[in-house]
Amino acid sequence: MSIKDKLIEDIQSHNARVGIIGLGYVGLPLVLGFGEEGFSVIGFDVDPQKVSKLNAGESYIQHIPASRVQALIKEKRFEATRDFRRLAEADCIIICVPTPLTAKKDPDLQYIEKTADSVLQTLRKGQIISLESTTYPGTTEEILLERFRTTGLEVGKDYFLVFSPEREDPGNPKFSTRTIPKIVGGMTPDCLEVGKTLYGQVIDRVVAVSSTRTAELVKLLENIYRCVNIALVNELKLLTDRMGIDIWEVIDAAATKPFGYTPFYPGPGLGGHCIPIDPFYLSWKAKEYDFSTRFIHLAGEVNTSIPYYVVDRIAAALNDHSKSIRGSRILILGVAYKKDVDDVRESPALEIMELLQHKGAELSYSDPYIPHLHKMRAYDFSHMRSVELTEQLVGQFDLVLIATDHTTMNYQWIVDHAHLVVDTRNATRMVSRGREKIYRA
């Protein structure tokens, strides 16, 4: 029996051991998916707190109940570790590490590179390695394959290498890891066959593409599509503000067309780990081909400008009441990057807070999903904790900014007790009283 056939047989019988590197919003759902299908799973992460919590049966992601982690621990189907030497124990290795940008908007590949070096130390015959981290076309070849060649092992024969982009949407109840179709591209046809077999155990539909480069670009296209269309409605928001037209009413009316139109909605800026970051991976790579991705750059310019526009609207609202930003007390409602999640990655609320802080505002925030903030690459609000909304508290602020429209918040109550409200999410659309207090942004 060939190495490929043996690995496929072990995967199909669920005797293969799965190792997942990176136990965040992408990696942890995969741990649960494989573990609940009967696989033995090892989770790898450099964060000691994550490892300790998981081994204690705790979950640090709001939409993942601890009971699911506890069940796998009890059945001895899962353990977390910081010991990357144990990658040798895994037959199937899935890489789910971050791919951020540098301050100059260039790809920061250090996490993929360090992970590839770790895998290299223990790479053996009969393993499949799948990269899920979003990145530019060619990464799997240029970073992983090039390193693995130094072992003398032959890809597609001794071991197998695929790229399969993550498609997680945290907090979306309509879709799960199992029900979201999975793209897989292999370095060779045999790599693709093993990759399809692996993901086919836990995903309802696996979509094969011709290469890892194609699979890498699929993910970028998905997010560039959203980035460009969000930039379009954000730009129209700026225009309709000057024209005295309600952009939200325009979008809702256009959305009644049953064909040829998909609604996108404006906001305070782009958030999340994907849409604000991924397009720049392609624009960076395009330079190698002497090509300028003008739509991506233009969309980036528009979306980057929106937090500044929000601050201008705050200044205008305060000015109408003979106040300035400096010295004003401002309450930020919602710091997560989108509603009903506990994820602050690239949240536009943080950029707005930074801008307001530089202008001398006194800031507080309230978010039921984010009890406290921690230090991040670009921001440090680690001294701040979420405040509990009370009538007395809300009334103490000069202005309330709705940055994230969590469904648990009572927006009529907020308007009733606030002096001024700047709404970036159309969250107050159903408010019947106090509309004179509300400014759209």
Q: What is the pLDDT of residues 290-320, one digit of tens each?
A: 999 999 989 989 999 999 999 999 999 999 9
Tell me the pLDDT band of 171, cut-offs 50, 70 and 90.
confident
Which token pair is 143? 């970073």
Which token pair is 241? 């503000």
Q: Are residues 185 and 307 in the same domain?
A: no
Q: What percent of the chain has pLDDT over 70?
A: 99
Last residue of a domain, one of 210, 235, 265: 210
> pLDDT of 366-389, one tens digit each?
999 999 998 887 788 999 999 999
Q: Are residues 188 and 316 in the same domain?
A: no
Which token pair is 71? 């069940």
Over residues 274-296, mean pLDDT: 86
Which token pair is 365? 């925030």
Q: Are residues 181 and 293 in the same domain?
A: no
| Tokens 């060939």 belong to residue | 2
Whether 229 is covered by a domain: the verdict is no
Q: CB of 105 within 8 A of CB of 70?
A: no
**Hey, which residues does 385 pair with through a beta bridge?**
372
Query: How many whole angstroms separate alpha carbon 413 and alpha carbon 435?
Result: 12
Q: Are residues 164 and 273 in the same domain?
A: no
Q: Are residues 184 and 264 in the same domain?
A: no
What is the dihedral sign for C-alpha 251, 255, 260, 263?
A: positive
Cβ neighbours of residue 63 closer than 8 Å, sequence gap 6 or more:
170, 171, 341, 342
H or E element, residue 353: helix 348-358
Weakest-pLDDT range from 24-38, 94-108, 110-124, 387-401: 94-108
Q: CB of 370 within 8 A of CB of 350?
A: no
Number of domains observed in the structure of the chain: 2
Whether 237 is covered by a domain: the verdict is no
Q: CB of 304 within 8 A of CB of 269?
A: yes
| Tokens 């009644």 belong to residue | 256
Whether 218 is covered by a domain: the verdict is no
CA-to-CA separations, 432 to 241, 400, 422, 428, in angstroms, rounded = 21, 18, 16, 9
Over residues 149-170, mean pLDDT: 95
> Which residue numbers are catalytic?
274
- Please give, one letter per residue, the 3-state secondary structure of 176-228: CCCCCCEEEEECCHHHHHHHHHHHHCCCCCEEEECCHHHHHHHHHHHHHHHHH
Q: CB of 70 within 8 A of CB of 50?
A: no
Whether 404 is covered by a domain: the verdict is yes
Q: Are residues 47 and 187 in the same domain?
A: yes
Last residue of a domain, one of 191, 210, 229: 210
> pLDDT of 52-110, one tens digit each?
999 999 999 888 999 999 999 999 999 999 999 999 999 999 999 999 888 777 889 99
Whether 258 is covered by a domain: the verdict is yes
Which token pair is 36? 């609940």
Whether 11 is covered by a domain: the verdict is yes
Query: How many whole angstroms separate alpha carbon 236 and alpha carbon 59?
Result: 41
pLDDT at 170 over 80: no
Q: Are residues 168 and 289 in the same domain?
A: no
Tell me the pLDDT band of 277, cut-offs 50, 70 and 90.
confident
| Closest to 77 measured CA to CA, from 43, 117, 103 | 43
How big is the chain by its Cα radius of gyration, in Å? 24
pLDDT at 272: 62
Which token pair is 326? 């400096």
Tell me the pLDDT band of 164, cut-offs 50, 70 and 90.
very high
DSSP for 216-259 reads HHHHHHHHHHHHHHHHHHHHHHHHHHHHT--HHHHHHHHTT-SS
Quote the domain boundaries for residue 346: 247-440
Whether 227 is covered by a domain: the verdict is no
Look over the chain and give the mean of its residue pLDDT values, rounded to a whole number: 94
Q: Are residues 253 and 201 in the same domain?
A: no
Q: Is 257 exposed, middle or buried (0-12, 13-18, 19+ CB in 10 A)?
A: exposed
Over residues 310-334, mean pLDDT: 97
Count the neighbouring beta carbons within 10 Å of the beta carbon of residue 110. Answer: 13
Cβ neighbours of residue 376 closer than 8 Å, sequence gap 6 or more:
344, 350
Q: CB of 273 within 8 A of CB of 108?
A: no
pLDDT at 280: 85
pLDDT at 281 over 90: no
pLDDT at 205 over 70: yes
Residue 362 sits in a domain of what CATH number? 3.40.50.720
CB contact burial 157-176 (16+ within 10 A = b; e otherwise): ebbbbbbbbbbbbbbeeeee
Last residue of a domain, one of 210, 229, 259: 210
Q: CB of 127 within 8 A of CB of 159?
A: yes
Tell me the pLDDT band of 274, cut-offs 50, 70 and 90.
low
Q: Are residues 15 and 152 in the same domain?
A: yes
Whether 234 is covered by a domain: the verdict is no
Q: Which of the two residues, 120 and 107, has the higher pLDDT score?
A: 120
> pLDDT of 414-434, one tens digit each?
999 999 999 999 999 999 999
Q: Are residues 325 and 253 in the same domain?
A: yes
